[in-house]
């Protein structure tokens, strides 16, 4: 069922032997992480404060001593070139200087007041300048921002249905944690989701990415409040939009009165202002989290003047009481200070030029090796991030990604790299370059990649 010819995949026994060696090597090299994992297990489920932290391919999780720029040091004293960057939260590097300074300045002057400050108006002006939308609201996480946008979208359109793409991830948002049955096309619950009591097929429709016919059909009855999408799928393999897809998709949304919501939490890597600004497309709602305030918990959503009026109208018409939108610590003083510093110093052409430059070198180096070894694999790129895919062509949708998936090979690459001082994102084969990523970091990754190919006999 795979696109890749088996001749160019490593022998299963070689892969299994290498896995054993690498796991032993990890344990030998990380006595302190192993000891902390055992100790932490007494009080943390799975020995970690967030259970995902066990999803790395190593026998125990690496415990971090400190992280700075594009590097991270573990408690065993090993230094890593970090291409995971907190799964994008640290896209601008770990603890960027302007963020550290802004936090130090704000920390003694109030952390959270549930009131705006003298910086609020200034930050609003900067947001409009950088991201091109005039109105804004804040949240603490991208999951929350998406949840809140969905509430607004349903409230202002008076429609119940949500449309997402197969393979989407928009955080811990129940409505979006669904899959598409490949045979019937029906929405089905995502089997990994715990504690779900509702099957969101009642109100969520799922279609393949890059499929305008499916989009037209899903919108045709005029009942869909919003299409919530990443401009390129990034969480299920990197899947870029086909040329012209978004222009046509936006026109379809407009024709059917469906709001277009772009979640740019990951595609912020495209360029200053994300995919939207880079490609000159203005969605109805624009969402970002994670890296938006330099890695300090903060998320936001922007919208246009007409949408703002519709939002104000539904809020004013509702009875007094809970709106179901917002959390107490949203827009707290510390997050706002970090956001302002990020807008001034991180969301800039200079920063993105450094990220893109490092990504250029990495992409070229990987492609050179795929050519030299005649490997039918692909490097798919989106600004500062890229993904090595074990398939000859860039996937067009989640179905292509599923067909090309090779979890054992992916795990092997991750652990081999980790054991040699290079961190890749555990949940997918993403490599992200920060402004602090330099040619030495890229060279290190490429050298280890050579060693991995040799170890697999490829
Ligand atoms: N949107 C996208 C596109 C994401 O990739 C993620 C997290 N991977 C989220 C939203 C949720 O972010 P958070 O976990 O910070 O709420």
**For residue 218, what is the domain's CATH number?**
3.40.640.10
Closest residue to atom 2 of ligand 1, CA basis: 170
* Whole-number Å distance between alpha carbons of 294 and 274: 15
Neighbours of 360 (CB within 10 A): 14
Is the whole model's pTM more than 0.95, yes or no? yes
Instruction: Identify the sign of the CA torsion 51, 22, 419, 409.
Output: negative
**Which residue's CA lies nearest to atom 12 of ligand 1?**
142
In the reported structure, the alpha carbon of residue 371 is separated from the centroid of ligand 1 by a whole-number distance in angstroms of: 34
- Tell me what pLDDT residue 198 has: 85
d(CA 266, CA 268): 5
Q: What's the rounded Cα separation, in Å, for the pair 454 and 451?
A: 5
13: tokens are 């026994």
Closest listed residue to residue 437, CA positions, set 379, 328, 353, 338? 353
In whole angstroms, how far apart are CA 277 and each of 178, 193, 231?
29, 34, 12
| Residue closest to 91 by CA, chosen among 335, 286, 347 | 347
The span from the first CA to the last CA of the chain, in angstroms, equals 21
pLDDT in tens, the chain (458 residues): 334 444 478 899 999 999 999 999 999 999 999 999 999 999 999 999 999 999 999 999 999 999 999 999 999 999 999 999 999 999 999 999 999 999 999 999 999 999 999 999 999 999 999 999 999 999 999 999 999 999 999 999 999 999 999 999 999 999 999 999 999 999 999 999 999 988 888 899 999 999 999 999 999 999 999 999 999 999 999 999 999 999 999 999 999 999 999 999 999 999 999 999 999 999 999 999 999 999 999 999 999 999 999 999 999 999 999 999 999 999 999 999 999 999 999 999 999 999 999 999 999 999 999 999 999 999 999 999 999 999 999 999 999 999 999 999 999 999 999 999 999 998 778 999 999 999 999 999 999 999 999 999 99
Q: Indicate if 280 and 297 belong to the same structural domain.
A: yes
Q: Is residue 3 part of a domain?
A: no
Within this chain, do residues 193 and 54 fall inside the same structural domain, yes or no? Answer: no
Same-domain pairing of 246 and 335: yes
pLDDT (0 to 100) of residue 4: 40
Same domain, 118 and 192: yes
Residue 303 lies in a domain: yes
Cα(384) to ligand 1 centroid in Å equals: 17
pLDDT computed for residue 9 by the predictor: 82
Of residues 246, 263, 265, the one with CA closest to residue 254: 246
Beta partners for residue 138, in sequence order: 300
148 lies in the same domain as 294: yes
Report which protein residue has its CA nearest ligand 1's atom 9: 171
The answer to whether the CB of 215 falls within 8 A of the CB of 249 is yes
How many angstroms does the Cα of residue 303 sit away from the middle of ligand 1?
19
Cα 290 to middle of ligand 1, angstroms:
7
Establish if 2 belongs to a structural domain.
no
Residues with a CB atom less than 6 Å from ligand 1: 87, 141-143, 169-171, 230, 235, 263, 265-266, 289-290
| Rounded distance from Cα 150 to ligand 1 centre (Å) | 15
Q: How far does the centroid of ligand 1 lie from the alpha carbon of residue 87, in Å? A: 9
**How many beta carbons lie within 10 A of that of residue 395, not counting itself?**
26
Residues 276 and 367 in one domain: no
Q: Which atom of ligand 1 is nearest to the CA of 297?
A: 15
Q: Which atom of ligand 1 is nearest to the CA of 89?
A: 15
Residue ending a domain, choose from 297, 313, 345:
345
d(CA 52, CA 406): 20
| Residue 287 CA, closest ligand 1 atom number | 1
Angstrom distance (rounded) from CA 58 to CA 25: 10
The last residue of a domain, from among 345, 377, 411: 345
Residue 86: other Cβ atoms inside 10 A: 17
Looking up residue 425, the CATH number of its domain turns out to be 3.90.1150.10
Ligand 1 centroid to Cα of residue 172, in Å, is 8
171 alpha carbon – ligand 1 mean position (Å) = 4
Give nearest CA residue, ligand 1 atom 11.
Answer: 171
Do 293 and 372 lie in one domain? The reply is no
Please indicate, yes or no, whether residues 244 and 141 belong to a single structural domain of this protein: yes
Report how far residue 422's alpha carbon sits from residue 415's, in angstroms, rounded to the nearest whole number.
9
Domain span holding position 440: 12-94+349-456
Do 62 and 109 fall within a single domain? no
Nearest Cα residue to atom 14 of ligand 1: 171
Same domain, 339 and 353: no
**Distance from the CA of 27 to the center of ligand 1, in angstroms?**
31
Q: What angle, rounded to 10 degrees, do the helices at 142-157 and 305-317 form?
A: 80
The tally of domains found in the chain comes to 2
Name the closest-CA residue to atom 1, ligand 1: 170
Distance 370 CA to ligand 1 centre (A): 31
Q: What is the pLDDT of residue 3?
A: 42
| Pair 119, 266 in one domain | yes
Atom of ligand 1 nearest to the CA of 235: 5
Q: Which atom of ligand 1 is nearest to the CA of 145?
A: 16
- Nearest atom in ligand 1 to the alpha carbon of residue 267 is 3
Atom of ligand 1 nearest to the CA of 146: 10
Domain boundary among 296, 329, 345: 345
Closest Cα to atom 8 of ligand 1 = 171
Atom of ligand 1 nearest to the CA of 143: 16
Q: How far is the C-alpha of 145 from the C-alpha of 44, rounded, in Å?
A: 28
217 C-alpha to center of ligand 1: Å? 28
Instruction: Output the 3-class SS for the chain.
Output: CCCCCHHHCCCHHHHHHHHHHHHHHHHHHCHHHHHHHHHHCCCCHHHCCCHHHHHCCCCCCCCEEEEEECEEEECCCCEEEECCCHHHCCCCCECCHHHHHHHHHHHHHCCCCCCCCCCHHHHHHHHHHHHCCCEEEEECCHHHHHHHHHHHHHHHHCCCEEEEECCCCCCCCHHHCEEECCCCCCEEECCCCCCCCCCHHHCEEEECCCCHHHHHHHHCCCCEEEEEECCCECCCCCECCCCCHHHHHHHHHHHCCCEEEEECCCHHHHCCCHHHHHHCCCCCEEEECHHHHCCCCCEEEEECHHHHHHHHHHHHHCCCCCCCCCCCCCCCHHHHHHHHHHHHHCCCHHHHHHHHHHHHHHHHHHHHHHHHCCCCCEEEEECCEEEEECCCCCCCCHHHHHHHCCHHHHHHHHHHHHCCCEECCCCCCEEECCCCCCHHHHHHHHHHHHHHHHHCCC
Pocket test for ligand 1, best of 86, 91, 171 (most atoms within 8 A of CB): 171
Same domain, 131 and 270: yes
- 8 Å CB contact between 130 and 347: yes
CB 206 within 8 A of CB 180: yes
Task: Output the CA 76–ligand 1 centroid distance in Å.
Answer: 30
């Amino acid at each position: 069922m795979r696109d890749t010819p088996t001749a160019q995949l490593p022998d299963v026994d070689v892969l299994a032997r290498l896995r054993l060696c690498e796991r032993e090597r990890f344990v030998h090299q990380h006595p302190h992480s192993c000891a902390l994992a055992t100790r932490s297990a007494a009080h943390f489920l799975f020995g970690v404060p967030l259970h995902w932290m066990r999803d790395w391919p190593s026998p125990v999780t690496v415990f971090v001593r400190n992280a700075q720029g594009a590097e991270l040091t573990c408690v065993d004293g090993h230094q890593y070139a970090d291409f995971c960057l907190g799964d994008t939260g640290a896209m601008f590097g770990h603890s960027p200087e302007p963020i550290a300074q802004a936090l130090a300045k704000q920390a003694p002057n109030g952390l959270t007041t549930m009131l705006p400050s003298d910086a609020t108006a200034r930050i609003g002006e900067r947001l409009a300048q950088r991201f091109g939308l005039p109105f804004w609201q804040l949240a603490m996480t991208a999951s929350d921002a998406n949840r809140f946008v969905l509430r607004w979208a349903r409230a202002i359109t008076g429609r119940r249905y949500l449309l997402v793409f197969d393979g989407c991830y928009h955080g811990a948002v129940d409505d979006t944690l669904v899959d598409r049955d490949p045979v019937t096309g029906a929405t089905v619950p995502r089997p990994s989701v715990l504690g779900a009591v509702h099957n969101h097929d009642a109100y969520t429709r799922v279609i393949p990415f890059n499929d305008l016919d499916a989009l037209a059909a899903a919108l045709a009855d005029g009942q869909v409040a919003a299409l919530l999408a990443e401009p390129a799928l990034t969480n299920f393999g990197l899947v870029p939009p086909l040329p012209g897809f978004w222009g046509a998709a936006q026109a379809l949304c407009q024709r059917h009165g469906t709001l277009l919501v772009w979640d740019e939490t990951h595609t912020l890597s495209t360029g200053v202002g994300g995919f939207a600004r880079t490609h000159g497309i203005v969605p109805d709602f624009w969402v970002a989290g994670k890296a938006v305030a330099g890695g300090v918990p903060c998320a936001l959503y922007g919208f246009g003047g007409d949408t703002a009026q519709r939002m104000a109208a539904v809020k004013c018409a509702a009875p007094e009481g809970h709106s179901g939108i917002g959390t107490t610590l949203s827009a707290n003083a510390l997050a706002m200070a970090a956001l302002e510093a990020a807008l001034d110093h991180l969301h800039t052409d200079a920063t993105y030029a450094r990220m893109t430059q490092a990504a250029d070198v990495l992409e070229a180096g990987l492609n050179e090796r795929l050519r030299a070894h005649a490997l039918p694999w692909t490097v798919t790129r989106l600004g500062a991030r890229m993904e090595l895919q074990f398939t000859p062509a860039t996937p067009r949708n989640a179905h292509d990604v599923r067909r090309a998936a090779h979890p054992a090979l992916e795990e092997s690459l991750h652990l081999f790299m980790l054991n040699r001082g290079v961190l890749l994102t555990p949940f997918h084969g993403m490599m992200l370059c920060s402004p602090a990523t330099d040619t030495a970091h890229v060279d290190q990754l490429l050298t280890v990649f050579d060693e991995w190919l040799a170890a697999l006999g490829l």
